[in-house]
C-alpha cells in the first residue's frame, strides 16, 4: 500500500513538472519561430482575440486573454508600434479605449493563423486521436478540480 501511494505521488509530481516544462517549451518554440513576424505567443494571442471580437475595450480583452490589464497594456504597446493594432476612444465613454486591428494585421491574419496551425500540427504529429481525446479528458478533469479548489 505504501509503495503505491509513493508511486502515485511520484507520478503526480512528474506529470505536473512535464506539463509546466511543455507549456514553457511550446511558448519558447512559438516565440523563436514567430520572431521574424515581430510576434510572440502573447502578441499573437492578442491579435487573434481582437480579430474574433474587434472593438473590445482593454478590460474586456484582458479578461478574454485571462491576463492582468497592465500586462495587456505592454503587449498592446508593442503591437501598436509594429502596426498590428490601434486603440481608439470608446464613443460612449472617452476614458475607455477599444482595440481594433489595423489593415496591416488584417493582411497578415491568415499568415499568423496558418503559422499557428502548422506549429500545432507539428506538435501533435504522431499522436493518435484517441490518445489526444484521453489527454484532453484528463486535463479537463484537472481544470474542474482547480475550479473546485478556487471555490473552496
Average pLDDT, rounded, for the chain: 92
Number of domains in the chain: 1
Q: What is the pLDDT of residues 52-102, one digit of tens each?
A: 999 999 999 999 999 999 999 999 999 999 999 999 999 999 899 999 999
CATH number for the domain harbouring residue 23: 1.10.10.10
State how far the alpha carbon of 98 is from the alpha carbons of 1, 15, 82, in Å.
58, 40, 18
pLDDT in tens, 101-118: 999 998 887 888 888 899
- The alpha carbon dihedral of 33, 78, 72, 108 has a sign of negative
pLDDT on residue 38? 85
How far is residue 142 CA from its own chain's centroid? 18
d(CA 139, CA 82): 35
**Range of the structural domain that residue 30 is part of:** 2-151
> What phi, psi does 90 have (nearest 5°)?
-70, 125
Amino acid at each position: 500500500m505504501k509503495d503505491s501511494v509513493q508511486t502515485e505521488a511520484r507520478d503526480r509530481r512528474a506529470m505536473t513538472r512535464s506539463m509546466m516544462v511543455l507549456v514553457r517549451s511550446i511558448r519558447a518554440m512559438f516565440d523563436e519561430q514567430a520572431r521574424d513576424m515581430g510576434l510572440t505567443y502573447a502578441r499573437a494571442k492578442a491579435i487573434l482575440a481582437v480579430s474574433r471580437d474587434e472593438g473590445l475595450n482593454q478590460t474586456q480583452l484582458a479578461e478574454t486573454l485571462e491576463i492582468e490589464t497592465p500586462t495587456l497594456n505592454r503587449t498592446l504597446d508593442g503591437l501598436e508600434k509594429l502596426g498590428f493594432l490601434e486603440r481608439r476612444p470608446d464613443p460612449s465613454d472617452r476614458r475607455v479605449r477599444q482595440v481594433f486591428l489595423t489593415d496591416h494585421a488584417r493582411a497578415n491574419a491568415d499568415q499568423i493563423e496558418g503559422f499557428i496551425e502548422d506549429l500545432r500540427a507539428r506538435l501533435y504529429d504522431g499522436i493518435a486521436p484517441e490518445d489526444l481525446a484521453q489527454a484532453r479528458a484528463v486535463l479537463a478533469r484537472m481544470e474542474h478540480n482547480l475550479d473546485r479548489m478556487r471555490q473552496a
